[in-house]
Amino acid sequence: MDIKMLDMEFEPAYLRLLRSGELKKRVTEAYRRLEACDICPRECGVNRRQSAKGAVCRTGERALVCSYHPHFGEEAPLVGTRGSGTIFFTWCNLKCQYCQNYEISQLGEGREVEPEQLAAMMLHLQEMGCHNINFVSPTHVVPQILAGVLIAAGAGLRIPLVYNTGGYDSLKTLALLDGVFDIYMPDMKYSDEAIAQRLSKVKNYPAINRAAVAEMHRQVGDLYLDERGIALRGLLVRHLVLPGGLAGTAEIVRFLAEEISPNTYLNIMDQYRPCYKAHEYPELNRRITPEEYAEAVRLAQEAGLHRLDDRQARFFFLWN
């Protein structure tokens, strides 16, 4: 059963921080941290306010945006009837060798924007009727996002913010976001550290990911929907099923059910297909089977998770 609240009771969290002056303080602190960058768990130490760019994210003081538009391919609680107002950031703090958006995340397709331009995008998406502002790959550009939100909120932004992340997020940075984001949507990609290192070139992903998801849930709780079934606040987790059990689904769903909440809204994603450099990894060079996907769903249900996104059964055979 979905957890619901009345729309009339809802106010985006960031408006309280705007009124108190705290949101402006968060922007100042976030930009200060860019001077010896520790925004993501890689903590590369580069001064991104100078000409240097992040060691992995390849982003300096300005965020890069590939595109922004109403998105109707997200989870139903985000899409509703008018779409999720999605802003796709260029680059990423992960190096997933099979990324389906690699032109954006690994090849740098996009353009630099100022915070004022980012704010204008948010306001335009709101004017188009989108139910939320959905920041895709936001981890490495948190300061720039906060600056944009400060401007947009002062100019009339009033819809929820979605933090749509690969799940490799710093607790120090999530502290800056406490009370800013209404909806957290992290990936939980792996339960095995060695597999994460091999396939996404990242250290200690499982521990960092689990700590981040726990903090996100502490901030916003389980996913709450309005009377129309549209998400207002809470945690929504994505888990992409990989061939041969590489994602470690059993451990991830057990963690969610036992250490986060059995009411966690989980999208078990079946759209894996070999992209980018997947052909260089024999274990990745095929689509998943219907049996592999069904097994992932069974594991989640047996772990006690009952709020599973129900779109997948309709789409699976369109992708295979």
By C-alpha distance, which of 219, 287, 39, 12 is closest to 142?
Answer: 39
185 torsion bin: left (phi>0), alpha (psi -120 to 50), beta (else): beta
Query: Domain 3-319 in CATH: superfamily?
Result: Aldolase class I (3.20.20.70)
Structure tokens at 208: 């960092």
Claim: this prediction has a pTM higher than 0.85: yes
User: Which pLDDT value is given to residue 207?
Assistant: 98
Tell me the C-alpha distance between 128 and 236, whole Å.
Answer: 24
pLDDT tens profile 205-226: 999 999 999 999 999 999 999 9
**Residue 141 DSSP label:** G
**Residue 276 DSSP label:** T
Mean pLDDT by 10 residues, the chain (320 residues): 58 97 98 97 96 91 97 96 98 97 96 98 98 98 98 98 98 98 98 98 98 98 96 98 98 98 98 97 97 98 95 43
User: Which pLDDT value is given to residue 272?
Assistant: 97
User: Which pLDDT value is given to residue 176?
Assistant: 98
Asked whether 198 and 94 are in contact (CB, 8 A), the reply is no
Backbone phi, psi, residue 212, to 5°? -65, -45
**Residue written as token pair 């699976």:** 316
User: Which pLDDT value is given to residue 316?
Assistant: 41
pLDDT tens profile 280-298: 999 999 999 999 999 999 9
Q: Give residue limits of the domains in the chain.
A: 3-319
